[in-house]
Structure 1
Amino acid sequence: MLSLQDSVSLITGVGPKRVIALASLGIQTVEDLLTYYPTRYDNFEVRDLSTAVDQEKLTIKGTVMSEPVIARFGYKKNRLSFRLLVDQDVVMVTFFNQPYLKDRIELGKDLAVYGKWDGNTARLTGMKLITMNNSELGAVYPANKQIKANTIKKFVETGFKQYEHVIATLLPPPLIKQYGLLPRAKMIQEMHFPSDEHTAKLARRSAAYEEFFLFQLRIQALKRENQTEDGLEILYHNDELKTFIGSLSYELTSAQKKVVNEICRDLRRPIQMNRLLQGDVGSGKTIVAAIAMYATITAGYQAALMVPTEILAGQHAENFARLFDGLPVNVGLLTGSMTAKQHRQLLDQIKHGGVNLIIGTHALIQDAVEYANLGLIVTDEQHRFGVNQRQKFREKGEHPDVLAMTATPIPRTLAITAYGEMDVSIISEMPKGRQPIETRWLRSNQTGVALEFVLKQLQQGSQIYVVTPLIEQSETLDVRNAEELYDNLKQYFEPQFKIGLLHGRLTNEEKDATMQAFKDNETNLLVSTTVIEVGVDVANATVMMVYDADRFGLAQLHQLRGRVGRGSKQGYCLLIADPKNQVGIQRMQTMTETTDGFVVAQRDLELRGAGDVLGQKQSGLPDFKVGDPVGDLKMLQTAQADATDLLATEDWDTQTDNLPLVQYLHRHQLQTHFD
């Protein structure tokens, strides 16, 4: 019995070599092939020559007036020419290097030709002869060196004929009726072989909605499945928690209080928490995480905080040791650079409960780490981790609660897609007294002005970050590099002020020593690549100066800007850039117009696209074939609501109309578990 899950090798004409070629495009099953949709359509509608524009691609139709003639010139080069009578005009048509077309061109026969029109000479450079198969739109497929677009088109045509009768509609009939969508077989047919422009648009809308709905169904099903698993009831000591919060030297903002309540409510529920905490740089996420971890510890559980770098892990360990001084919290720091003996001792303490707050890098989720009683895992800056990686964190211990934090504000679009299986909390306001950072964009010929400003700040006792994209000289990129810049700035500022250098090629020990010297104010100015981007906290730093700022993404620039102005002094961000294109200019303008991370993130998404913002392969963000999660946001939100409603409907999975959807979900949920 035929199935869309059959290998493409079962399609007539697809041999072993073609199977390999198709696999290079991600096409392995018949369904993969039939949903390998065209990226665009060539419009083969026959045009009146009086409306033709010079150098435009168009289709003309007429009668062949002269025998086709082939002229050869150069090695393997030739030109096929003939005259075509179009209404009352005679047009010279020329095809280059397609001599085999000669047999299809007969004197006195009608012919349609697609090509580029030269209005000055009334000539058409032919691209293809058109066979009018009831469609004026020709599908154009993405291809590669291993397989041509026309070959893909041929296999799609054959595959559709062979399997058309087994294409079941996946969407529930009420939704198809409500939105006026096409049944799946008709949708696939019209996507590849559209009857006309209107039907092609309807097929694309149907395909985009189907894609969004199926993705959201998988995500929401995963979310429901996680919520039915037995979680821990972390019955924290409320009085101890209130005393701790009351002992802080500042009052929490309303947004922080709201988020703390959401998290604490989750801790008490016997369902595994899976929550994303979003907040702009400096909004106070860390203290919220500290409160959650302390609550967990008062209930007799361990808490673990995972961060992306060893520098940040060390900083958190120091800060939490001070914060919890005098309380029954034993902090352990687990990183890859520990000695074997230190590592063994700490693992033993973690296993037997001697340490109840464990801070570290991804070493925390390695198999060798066994927890005595893990209640809460907090991940910081894990915005580059996808659904499956986050799932791995959840499998540590006996269903611990999970809180993921990110200071990279995520637009609604990406929150729905990349984090769709999580509950989301947002800290939407900044702590009292935190002044917005003043941002200036300067051209490279104004660098002297920037350095004079930096000198004044240094003379007032402040510290400075200077960031550059590359470590050493590159012939291909006209950008400053850290080492050259370091040498230049030493000449400018020393001996009065001490300059440090930090980049990715230093050993972990060298990085730690350099960063520690800056934190201790032994170094006044730190030249760095973006290794300082995430979470490093030096309250005395007031200026972030970024060379070749147009080489950085908006989210990265916003992160860098958030490193300064973290104390009582005003913070400044100086962007040195000579952008070569409009996108670079818009980035600089955005940075000077707003300090709101969510506005920055939305603009970044619009300028770069979803895949680039999160990093396509790492983000967990699906590579949608048809739907555009930015442009089709309303459709995406509607699909999320529809998928949630369906899963909440009693016995939806036993209704006959929904059986193809149930089978689809079962197949893909299994894939999710084994990815």
Structure 2
Amino acid sequence: MTHQLSDAVASLSGVGPAKQKGLAGLGINTIADLLTYYPFRYDDLQVKDVNEIADQEKVTLKGTVASEPVLARFGRKKNRLNFRLLIEHDVYMVTFFNQPYLMKQITTGQPIAVYGKWDAKRSSLTGMKIINPNNADEAFGSIYPASKAVKQTTIRKLIKQAYDDYADAITDIMPAPLVDKYRLLPRRQMIHDMHFPPSQEASAAARRSATYEEFLLFQMQMQALKQEDAATNGIAIHYNNDRLKAFIKTLPFELTHAQKRVVNEICLDLKSPKHMNRLLQGDVGSGKTIVAAIVMYAAITAGYQAALMAPTEILAEQHANNLAKVFAATDVNVALLTGSTKPAARKTLLAALAAGEIDLLIGTHALIQEGVNYHRLGLVITDEQHRFGVNQRAAFRQKGGQPDALAMTATPIPRTLAITAYGEMDVSEIDELPAGRQPIQTTWVRSNQANNALDFVRQQINAGSQAYVVTPLIEESETLDVKNAEALSANLQDYFGPQIKVGLLHGRLKPEEKDAQMAAFKAGDIQVLVSTTVIEVGVDVKNATIMMIYDADRFGLAQLHQLRGRVGRGSKASFCILVADPKNQQGIERMQIMTQTTNGFILAQKDLELRGAGDVLGVKQSGMPEFKVGDPIADLTVLQVAQQDAHAIVQQPDWQAKPEYQALAQYLKVKLAMVGTLD
């Protein structure tokens, strides 16, 4: 029987239903998945000379067992295994913790190789594993992401078995011109050297080839989806340009150049019969919502409905209130639908929506639930794109005949990374703030100076302003020494006294309790609002001029910037006070960067450099692909080259038919059939 990489892992000996389920949990279903389940690091298992080892270095020592192993038990399930190791003329103590089963492998007088951590002061080794010194493949021990269900040793054993059985089935995917251009390894050798590198040089060469292969395959998928999207008949929305211009003139301010440019880009997409799939990026306070209002009005003048989906009820309600005011002088009928909409009101609203009586529907993910039927949906806008998964975007597209899609985000993603996260989308950027916006003055104080900062807050409140105070946790934690929202609000109420009212907002409050707190803050009945980060996105109270953040070093730069953007929304001078005692250099750098710039794109780039892509975007929520080998930050140049190469390939007429691209085209066909479209 011919071996194929698409065979299920169950075809390997020793993989029964339980192990198959465990492997599936790691994303390993086929032999191909297993062979490309690459190690995230290697242990250098080459035997070292004792005299060349640094303190606390992980090393392999080879010698002869010079004493009987002794097992000492202490406490429940805790034990220590000791024996002496003779290397040339010197004897060293080796200790293994909680691995009593290793006794069987330790025999006096027998040669042994042990991998562990060297303690120079005691001239002893804390053992981690016993290795086979005669196996050439073990020069570098591959370390894989494992789970409770599937142990490290099992993964290594199965990969070895899969490679031995299926090596002949591994064929090249990369086009020959690119293999020659970048000196890529043949795929079979690349996979071998990723798992069993004979040297550090071999491992680096394999990783270089694997990174390029992974990025090119991803970018080819992006290009294929983009082409498919362009070929899919969207809706040509022929809006009424005169009505649109008249509407823009009714706005109480002049649009910035950036807003005008972005409105033109989106309106061109609306007119085109191609399906629009565009990402609108704009820093906090750059005026994305008014751009959304203009393009939704354009769609409505052509007889289409528009939908705006926000990640939280607070934000959805705020959009509904703001847009109701924006459209007050027009005949646009605006409605709000959230999980809190009462059944009777919901029934009436859905009937009006299906009949085409509602022009603009605003809400949370309730907008895509079953039973919500649109009359003629033309444009869908999702706010804070990274909070919606791929499936939610797909559900919206199924609600109407391929409505145009615009995603908005205030989480600045450097353009370079937008290529990766939103490779199948066109990107528009609002890169200037509206006139009259005053830059927010940011200061960083240590916790022992917090009272001075609170005195400043009191002065501002007495002058008629309001303040947010943000803290990372809701209630006491034994593990984190952080101010919690409940204790902090009580302390601040004591500090400020009865003349200043302190409110509390956190994620465990019921929706109606959150709404009551926000309404009281907006109305000015509460002067200081203590909150966890539920106020991070979109909340807009123009009279709030102070943002004070406790334990600010526990937040990323992008999150701090979002929080800071909640103030400075009116004409008054605004302030952001960071209270933090960072424990390391990275924490200190984050505080310093925050005080130096209010530009979200610069901050996002710095955040990426400090923390990496997964942390910044929150990989699971962002739609950001999880690469097995490549790092979109460290390997950014490779990512950009791969994107250019993928673009050049798909621009060639009938590229799939060319001999050099057939293996790549076949791979993509199988891959796209498995994942479907990304949106």
Category of TM-score, reference length = shorter chain: over 0.9
Q: Which range moved further: 299-308 or 647-656?
A: 647-656
Residue aligned with 2:676, SS: helix
Is structure 2 residue 258 aligned with structure 1 residue 255?
Answer: yes
Query: What does residue 553 of structure 1 align with?
Result: 556
2:337 maps to a residue whose letter is: L
1:227-376 → structure 2 map (5 Å cutoff) = 227-376=230-379
How far residue 100 of structure 1 moved from its aligned partner, in angstroms, is 3.7
Q: Deviations over 1:409-445 (max 9, x none)?
A: 0123531222111100000111112111001111222
Contact 1:91 1:122 in 2 (8 A): no
The match for 2:588 among 585, 604, 615 is 585
Contact 2:568 2:574 in 1 (8 A): yes
Counterpart CA distance in 2 for 1:615 and 1:324 is 35
1:80-99 → structure 2 map (5 Å cutoff) = 80-81=83-84, 83-85=86-88, 90=90, 92=92, 94=94, 96=96, 98-99=102-103
Is structure 2 residue 660 aligned with structure 1 residue 638?
Answer: no
Residue aligned with 1:647, SS: helix
How far residue 565 of structure 1 moved from its aligned partner, in angstroms, is 1.2
1:504-515 → structure 2 map (5 Å cutoff) = 504-515=507-518
How far residue 281 of structure 1 moved from its aligned partner, in angstroms, is 0.4
Contact 1:537 1:566 in 2 (8 A): yes
User: How many residue pairs are counted as aligned between the two chains?
Assistant: 666
How far residue 476 of structure 1 moved from its aligned partner, in angstroms, is 3.4
Counterpart CA distance in 1 for 2:95 and 2:483 is 50
How far residue 406 of structure 1 moved from its aligned partner, in angstroms, is 0.6
Counterpart CA distance in 1 for 2:544 and 2:69 is 73
1:11-90 → structure 2 map (5 Å cutoff) = 11-48=12-49, 50-59=51-60, 68-75=66-73, 78-81=81-84, 83-85=86-88, 90=90
Residue aligned with 1:232, SS: coil
1:516-535 → structure 2 map (5 Å cutoff) = 516-535=519-538
Over 3 Å counting, the alpha-carbon distance change for 1:321 and 1:56 in structure 2 is closer
Query: What does residue 6 of structure 1 align with?
Result: 7
Q: Deviations over 1:264-316 (max 9, x none)?
A: 11010001111000000001111111110111111111111111222222222
1:484 maps to a residue whose letter is: A
Contact 1:387 1:419 in 2 (8 A): no
Counterpart CA distance in 2 for 1:455 and 1:119 is 57
Contact 1:413 1:630 in 2 (8 A): no
Q: Which range moved further: 313-322 or 207-216?
A: 313-322
Unaligned 5+ segments in structure 2 are 74-78
Is structure 2 residue 634 aligned with structure 1 residue 627?
Answer: no
Over 3 Å counting, the alpha-carbon distance change for 1:495 and 1:228 in structure 2 is same
Contact 1:68 1:102 in 2 (8 A): no
How far residue 329 of structure 1 moved from its aligned partner, in angstroms, is 1.0
Over 3 Å counting, the alpha-carbon distance change for 1:357 and 1:80 in structure 2 is same
2:588 maps to a residue whose letter is: I
How far residue 129 of structure 1 moved from its aligned partner, in angstroms, is 4.1
1:557 maps to a residue whose letter is: L
Over 3 Å counting, the alpha-carbon distance change for 1:277 and 1:69 in structure 2 is same
The match for 2:467 among 464, 467, 487 is 464
Q: Deviations over 1:168-225 (max 9, x none)?
A: 2111111111111111111101111223222211101111111111112222211211
Contact 1:169 1:185 in 2 (8 A): yes
Counterpart CA distance in 1 for 2:325 and 2:3 is 66
Query: What does residue 603 of structure 1 align with?
Result: 606
Counterpart CA distance in 2 for 1:129 and 1:60 is 12
Contact 1:380 1:405 in 2 (8 A): yes
Counterpart CA distance in 2 for 1:412 and 1:497 is 44
Residue aligned with 1:375, SS: strand
Q: Deviations over 1:472-506 (max 9, x none)?
A: 33343332232322223333334433333322233
How far residue 114 of structure 1 moved from its aligned partner, in angstroms, is 5.0
Query: What does residue 384 of structure 1 align with?
Result: 387
Counterpart CA distance in 2 for 1:425 and 1:538 is 27
Q: Deviations over 1:198-257 (max 9, x none)?
A: 221110111111111111222221121111111111111111111222222221111111
Q: Percent identity, please.
A: 58
Counterpart CA distance in 2 for 1:599 and 1:158 is 48
Q: Which range moved further: 16-25 or 149-158?
A: 16-25
1:617 maps to a residue whose letter is: K
Over 3 Å counting, the alpha-carbon distance change for 1:581 and 1:57 in structure 2 is closer
Contact 1:182 1:203 in 2 (8 A): yes
Q: Which range moved further: 361-370 or 502-511?
A: 502-511
Query: What does residue 659 of structure 1 align with?
Result: 662
Over 3 Å counting, the alpha-carbon distance change for 1:221 and 1:326 in structure 2 is same
Over 3 Å counting, the alpha-carbon distance change for 1:377 and 1:141 in structure 2 is closer
Over 3 Å counting, the alpha-carbon distance change for 1:72 and 1:445 in structure 2 is closer
Residue aligned with 2:630, SS: coil
Contact 1:276 1:422 in 2 (8 A): yes
Counterpart CA distance in 1 for 2:331 and 2:255 is 23
Residue aligned with 1:566, SS: coil
Q: Deviations over 1:58-97 (max 9, x none)?
A: 45667x6xx7542434358654445343xxx555575755
2:68 maps to a residue whose letter is: I
1:209 maps to a residue whose letter is: Y
Query: What does residue 438 of structure 1 align with?
Result: 441
Query: What does residue 76 of structure 2 align with?
Result: none
Query: What does residue 617 of structure 2 align with?
Result: 614
Q: Which range moved further: 664-673 or 136-145?
A: 136-145
- Per the normalisation by structure 1, the TM-score is 0.92
Q: Deviations over 1:378-414 (max 9, x none)?
A: 1111222244432332332111111110111012353
Counterpart CA distance in 1 for 2:538 and 2:118 is 58
Over 3 Å counting, the alpha-carbon distance change for 1:407 and 1:55 in structure 2 is closer
Is structure 2 residue 500 aligned with structure 1 residue 497?
Answer: yes
Over 3 Å counting, the alpha-carbon distance change for 1:642 and 1:79 in structure 2 is same
The match for 1:421 among 419, 424, 430 is 424
Contact 1:115 1:128 in 2 (8 A): no
How far residue 640 of structure 1 moved from its aligned partner, in angstroms, is 1.5
Contact 1:388 1:672 in 2 (8 A): no
Over 3 Å counting, the alpha-carbon distance change for 1:118 and 1:673 in structure 2 is closer
1:35 maps to a residue whose letter is: T
Counterpart CA distance in 2 for 1:580 and 1:438 is 24
The match for 1:401 among 371, 389, 404 is 404
Is structure 2 residue 646 aligned with structure 1 residue 649?
Answer: no
Contact 2:467 2:546 in 1 (8 A): yes
Counterpart CA distance in 2 for 1:15 and 1:478 is 46
Over 3 Å counting, the alpha-carbon distance change for 1:104 and 1:472 in structure 2 is closer
Counterpart CA distance in 1 for 2:279 and 2:124 is 61
2:192 maps to a residue whose letter is: Q
1:636 maps to a residue whose letter is: L
